[in-house]
A and B are shown apart, each in its own frame.
Chain A
Amino acid sequence: DAKTTQPNSMESNEEEPVHLPCNHSTISGTDYIHWYRQLPSQGPEYVIHGLTSNVNNRMASLAIAEDRKSSTLILHRATLRDAAVYYCILHFGGGGGADGLTFGKGTHLIIQP
């Protein structure tokens, strides 16, 4: 899987939007962009994923650059429960065999009340 680059940490205030950036300049055409998060003392949790178009779900939005070399996870209204480590992961979507996810260091999101 191609490499991603994320800031080590970010801080935001409760009830404000949060934009978490991710750079993936070596992304290939078949790589899907996945976001997972890990709350303290819990297993990773799926947040959202996309290929080319922007995506929305009940948890977040994913904005993908036109050249696909970067993406941004958007939490529209952060709560204290959103404090976690957020991982941006590229995952080969071509099928043909099961594959594990390659986790980087992620971004530690701190939410201030």
Chain B
Amino acid sequence: DTAVSQTPKYLVTQMGNDKSIKCEQNLGHDTMYWYKQDSKKFLKIMFSYNNKELIINETVPNRFSPKSPDKAHLNLHINSLELGDSAVYFCASSHRQGEETQYFGPGTRLLVL
């Protein structure tokens, strides 16, 4: 069974569109995260959610909004997509905060044309 899953795996869309990426974890973890890996392969934290509460929000445009319907899901909604949003987006989860191990999903490859 896949621990952290993401859908879709690939997403190609036009500038200005609104899209969502879904993430689910079946590990019973309390905390979930979204990371962005750009074309230079740098991985950066975007958001984390702990028990449905947003804990951190790095310098991410407000076009990006995480939505957590329950503890097992953290979806990423993106409004008015821009060319610079093209990247690989990874979802992750961890049991607790601090030194706990994070488990990553397979990634969603977003291409904005």
Q: Residues of A at under 8 Å CB distance from B? A: 32, 34, 36, 38, 41-46, 49, 51, 85, 87, 91-103, 105
B107 in contact with A42 (CB, 8 Å): yes
B104 / chain A contacts, CB cutoff of 8 Å: 43-45
B97 in contact with A96 (CB, 8 Å): yes
B31 / chain A contacts, CB cutoff of 8 Å: 98
Supposing A98-B55, A98-B56 touch, asked if A49 and B44 sit within 8 A by C-beta, the answer is no
Other CB < 8 Å A-B pairs besides A32-B99, A43-B104, A97-B97, 19 of them?
Answer: A34-B101, A38-B43, A42-B107, A43-B4, A43-B105, A43-B106, A44-B43, A49-B99, A85-B41, A95-B97, A98-B49, A98-B55, A98-B97, A99-B48, A99-B55, A99-B56, A99-B98, A101-B43, A105-B42
A-B pairs with CB below 8 Å: how many? 74
A41 to chain B, nearest CB (A): 8
Judged by a CB distance under 8 angstroms, whether B25 is at the interface is no
B56 in contact with A102 (CB, 8 Å): no
B98 in contact with A92 (CB, 8 Å): yes
A103 / chain B contacts, CB cutoff of 8 Å: 42-44
A45 / chain B contacts, CB cutoff of 8 Å: 104
A93 / chain B contacts, CB cutoff of 8 Å: 98-99
The DSSP consensus for interface residues of chain A is loop
| In-complex Cβ contact of B97 among A36, A87, A99 (8 A) | A99
Per the bound structure, the CA–CA distance linking A51 and B105 in Å amounts to: 26
The DSSP consensus for interface residues of chain B is strand
Supposing A49-B101, A93-B98, A93-B99 touch, asked if A43 and B48 sit within 8 A by C-beta, the answer is no
Judged by a CB distance under 8 angstroms, whether B64 is at the interface is no
B42 / chain A contacts, CB cutoff of 8 Å: 103, 105
A31 to chain B, nearest CB (A): 9
Residue of B nearest to A94 (CB): B98
B97 in contact with A43 (CB, 8 Å): no
Q: List the 7 closest A-B pairs by CB distance, nearest first.
A: A100-B45, A43-B104, A93-B99, A103-B43, A98-B97, A98-B55, A95-B98
Supposing A43-B90, A93-B98 touch, asked if A101 and B45 sit within 8 A by C-beta, the answer is yes
Per the bound structure, the CA–CA distance linking A101 and B90 in Å amounts to: 12
